[in-house]
C-alpha cells in the first residue's frame, strides 16, 4: 500500500498511547499510518507527495478559524462582555448585588452588561 501524502520529520500529536510520532501517512483524506520516519517513509509510492516537517509540531484535526466581524459588531450589545470585569468572582459579587433574590443566567448577564457599560 502506498500513501497519497506523507508528513515526516515532525512532532505529530496523536491523542493516543504514544502522544507524539515523527511521521504520518494519509490516503483518501484519512490517516492510515503513524510511526517513526523509517516506518512511514516505506509507504512512499511513485505518486506520493512527501512533506518534511522540519521538526515542527503538528496537530491534525479540524481547524475552523473563520470569524464574522460584521455580525460581532452588530450584536456586541447583546452579548456577555467581560471587558472591565477583573475576575469571575467580581462579576458574581456584582451580579448578586443587583439581584439578591434567586437569580437566573439572564439576570447575571444583564448585571454584567450594566457593569461593563459603567466601567
3 state SS of 113: helix
Q: Taking the model in full, what pTM does it have?
A: 0.52
pLDDT tens digits, one per residue of 102-111: 545 455 555 5
Residue 61, by phi and psi: left (phi above 0), alpha (psi -120 to 50) or beta?
left
For domain 5-58, give its CATH number from 3.40.930.10, 2.30.40.10, 3.40.50.620, 3.30.2130.10. 2.30.40.10
What residue ranges do the domains of the chain occupy? Answer: 5-58, 72-118
Q: What is the pLDDT of residue 111?
A: 53
- In 1-119 the beta strands, taken as DSSP E runs, fall at 5-8, 11-13, 20-21, 23-27, 30-35, 49-52, 57-58
Which helix (H) or strand (E) segment is 90 a member of? Answer: helix 88-98
pLDDT tens digits, one per residue of 21-74: 999 999 998 999 999 999 999 999 999 999 999 999 998 775 666 776 666 666
Amino acid at each position: 500500500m502506498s500513501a497519497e501524502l506523507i508528513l515526516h520529520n515532525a512532532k505529530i500529536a496523536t491523542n493516543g498511547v504514544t502522544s507524539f510520532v515523527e511521521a504520518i501517512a494519509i490516503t483518501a483524506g484519512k490517516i492510515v499510518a503513524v510511526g517513526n520516519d523509517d516506518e512511514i517513509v516505506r509507504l512512499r509510492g511513485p505518486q506520493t507527495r512527501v512533506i518534511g516537517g522540519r521538526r515542527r509540531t503538528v496537530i491534525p484535526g479540524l481547524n475552523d478559524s473563520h470569524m464574522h466581524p460584521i455580525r460581532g459588531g452588530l450584536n456586541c450589545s447583546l452579548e456577555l462582555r467581560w471587558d472591565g470585569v477583573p475576575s469571575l468572582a467580581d462579576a458574581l459579587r456584582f451580579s448578586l448585588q443587583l439581584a439578591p433574590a434567586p437569580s437566573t443566567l439572564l439576570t447575571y448577564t444583564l448585571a454584567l452588561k450594566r457593569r461593563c457599560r459603567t466601567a
